[in-house]
Amino acid sequence: MIDRVRRYLVRRRKIDLSSGFDPNDVKQALDTQVRMITGKVPPEVMAKVLMIRQIILGILPRSGNLPPGSPQLFIIERTATDYLPTSLQAYLDLPRAYATRHPVQDGKTPKVVLLDQLSLLETKMNEVASDVIRNDSDRLLAHGRFLEERFGRGPGPRSDPARNVS
């Protein structure tokens, strides 16, 4: 199983980001991670991973509204294909008893360290989701300003080509 995970991670790290963002690749990477850790991690870890997955899946339908090469797209893709799998694999490589009982950093067990890493990823994905929503809102507001300038009420001529048809 570990060899299969390593082969997957090596293959996923060869993604060519210049070819564009593919939401299907992101979804596939997330689904693969969930399958690989099911039954192998504590429930708290699974819950965090599922939450990160859910946030990203919520962003994907609107990812096309972001400009190609945007930092948000990069972070989404790297989280699904590198940051999340690397954290999970490092944890899975440890013996279970060691991972849940032995303090390794500031009195924290590897399990707690992993949960901290997953919390960071979750926080960042929530920020990206907010950025995407804000981008959608900004587009709505910009269109409203355009319509107001074009067809709005008030003094002065409006540049409505449909009204100037002879």
Q: What is the pLDDT of residues 108-160, one digit of tens each?
A: 999 999 999 999 999 999 999 998 888 778 888 888 889 989 888 755 555 55
pLDDT tens-digit map of 63-112: 888 888 889 999 999 999 999 999 999 999 999 899 889 999 999 999 99
Domain hosting residue 105, numbered range: 2-150
Domain assignment present for residue 158? The answer is: no
Domain assignment present for residue 133? The answer is: yes
Domain assignment present for residue 160? The answer is: no
Q: DSSP of 22-70, one letter per residue?
A: -HHHHHHHHHHHHHHHTTTS-HHHHHHHHHHHHHHHHHGGGGGGSPTT-
Domain assignment present for residue 105? The answer is: yes
Cα gap 45→119, rounded to integer Å? 10
Domain assignment present for residue 165? The answer is: no
Domain assignment present for residue 107? The answer is: yes
pTM score, two decimals?
0.75
Domain assignment present for residue 164? The answer is: no
Q: What is the DSSP letter of 108?
A: B
Q: How confident is the model at residue 15 (pLDDT cuts 50, 70, 90)?
A: very low
* Number of compact structural domains in the chain: 1
